[in-house]
Amino acid sequence: MQFSENVSLKSLNTFGIEAKARFYYELHSKQELKEIIPIIDKSEKPLLFLGSGSNILFTKDFDGYVVRIVSKGIRIISTNETECFVEAAAGEEWDSLIQFCIQNNLYGLENLSGIPGTVGSAPVQNIGAYGVEVKDCIHLVNIVMTSDFSETGLTNKECRFAYRDSIFKSRFQYRVLVDSVVFRLSRVPRFVLNYGGVTEEVERISPDSVDLKTVSQAIINIRNRKIPDPKVIGSAGSFFKNPIIDQTRFNRIINVFPDLKYFYDLGQNYKLAAAWLIEQCGWKGFRYGDIGVNENQPLILMNFGNASGKDILNLSRKIQQSVLDKFGIVLEPEVNIQ
Ligand code: EPU
């Protein structure tokens, strides 16, 4: 059992931040856990499971064990006339699963096309885009407890999914390995096209009919117009979550700022467009040296080359402060800050 030492994580996080892992290991299967966990426990150093590093900001070297999940495999478990259950290994690239769905005519995940990341990290933060959240299609999340290697299949309800949240960010943080995810997909077309701009893009590509490939391509086109490619400019997608506030606070703010942008009326609550709040504070298109705020989507902070994690963190704090000063709203980071 060999750990590599002092490994650069620069190519292993989409922000492209230079940071070193004191120890590094690539995990191909859950069986290997039994060999590495006792060593990690004995060292008393922290453990970090890493997928493709698309939602993490390293602000310093990681003085512990970075274990990157590289397990592979996507298979159909069972199928009937209307549904199909597909199991994907945690280390699979998210987009490989999307391709699998397109090839097999399985509906449900197409609006999540083009999201960087791995299958195993999708349930952790309940990835979502263009009117769909991954929780809508998750049947089971198969996990292994690092304390005793017991294995459980958590049901959708047990995962306690919420907006960019799940049990894996609270009670189970750092304590479990997500080994695979079982998705419940539809064999009958059922598209979600009502998020702003999606219908128009689908009609532009294919005016006469809608299919899985068209919707997936439409989503990718919209993303490409707004979101910088992390292979070209370092970022972790949205840095902050959209804040959710209650009716009383909403009324107070909209009285002062009638142009306030918000999305869904979630019962008694309102989800505000953090991008708008940040734009109103004058940050859109901001650039200083190698750090910046995207000019199309100001929720995205960027590393143009050799920014440090601390530079990005400082920028995020300044943005938080100005949104707090102007609107009285606390922006919460979406990314995992280490
Ligand atoms: N807006 C502005 N100014 C801007 C950009 C946007 O005011 O410069 C306002 C507009 O009113 C727009 C609204 O913000 O209608 C929403 O913008 P957008 O559709 O880009 O979505 P978002 O809420 O900013 C969320 C996700 C994205 C996901 C998009 C599309 C979060 C934190 N982010 O962004 O996810 O791609 O919706 O569904 O919920 C990610 O999590 O990394 C991510 C990119």
Residue 238 alpha carbon, nearest atom of ligand 1? 42
Shared domain for 28 and 90, answered yes or no, is no
Long-range contacts of 169-175, Cβ-Cβ distance < 8 Å, separation of 24 or more: 169/124, 169/125, 172/143, 174/46, 174/47, 174/48, 174/49, 175/145, 175/146, 175/147
The answer to whether position 231 is within a domain reads no
pLDDT value for 240 = 98
Q: What's the CA-to-centroid distance between 226 and ligand 1, angstroms? A: 9
**How many structural domains comprise the chain?**
3
pLDDT value for 173 = 80
335 close to 239: Cβ distance less than 8 angstroms: yes
Q: What's the CA-to-centroid distance between 129 and ligand 1, angstroms? A: 9
The answer to whether position 280 is within a domain reads yes
Shared domain for 314 and 276, answered yes or no, is yes
Q: Is the pTM of this model over 0.85?
A: yes
Residue 127 alpha carbon, nearest atom of ligand 1? 41
Shared domain for 105 and 218, answered yes or no, is yes
pLDDT along the chain (338 residues), means of 10: 94 97 97 94 95 96 97 97 97 98 98 97 96 97 95 97 94 89 97 93 93 97 93 96 94 95 82 97 97 97 97 98 97 97
Shared domain for 94 and 25, answered yes or no, is no
CA angle 141, 145, 151 (to 5 degrees): 60
Residues with CB under 6 A from ligand 1: 129-130, 195-196, 226-227, 237-238, 241-242, 261, 273, 275-276, 279, 284, 297-299, 334
Q: What's the CA-to-centroid distance between 297 and ligand 1, angstroms? A: 7
CB-CB neighbours of 218 under 10 Å: 26
CATH for 35: 3.30.43.10
CA angle 133, 335, 15 (to 5 degrees): 115
CATH for 312: 3.90.78.10
Shared domain for 141 and 221, answered yes or no, is yes
Catalytic-role residue among 54, 166, 238, 316: 238
Domain with 312 in it: 244-337
The answer to whether position 108 is within a domain reads yes
pLDDT value for 263 = 84
CB-CB neighbours of 182 under 10 Å: 18
The answer to whether position 238 is within a domain reads no
List the residue whose alpha carbon is closest to atom 12 of ligand 1: 273
Q: Which residue from 135, 276, 296 has its CB within 8 A of the most atoms of ligand 1, so it is best to mutate?
A: 276
Domain termination residue (choose one: 14, 41, 69) = 69
Shared domain for 94 and 220, answered yes or no, is yes
The answer to whether position 306 is within a domain reads yes
pLDDT value for 267 = 75
For residue 241, what are its two tokens?
A: 């979550």
Shared domain for 49 and 147, answered yes or no, is no
Domain termination residue (choose one: 193, 226, 259) = 226
pLDDT value for 185 = 98
Shared domain for 117 and 260, answered yes or no, is no
Q: What's the CA-to-centroid distance between 263 and ligand 1, angstroms? A: 10
Domain termination residue (choose one: 30, 45, 69) = 69
Task: Tell me if residue 238 is catalytic.
Answer: yes
CATH for 181: 3.30.465.10
pLDDT value for 85 = 98
Task: Tell me if residue 334 is catalytic.
Answer: yes
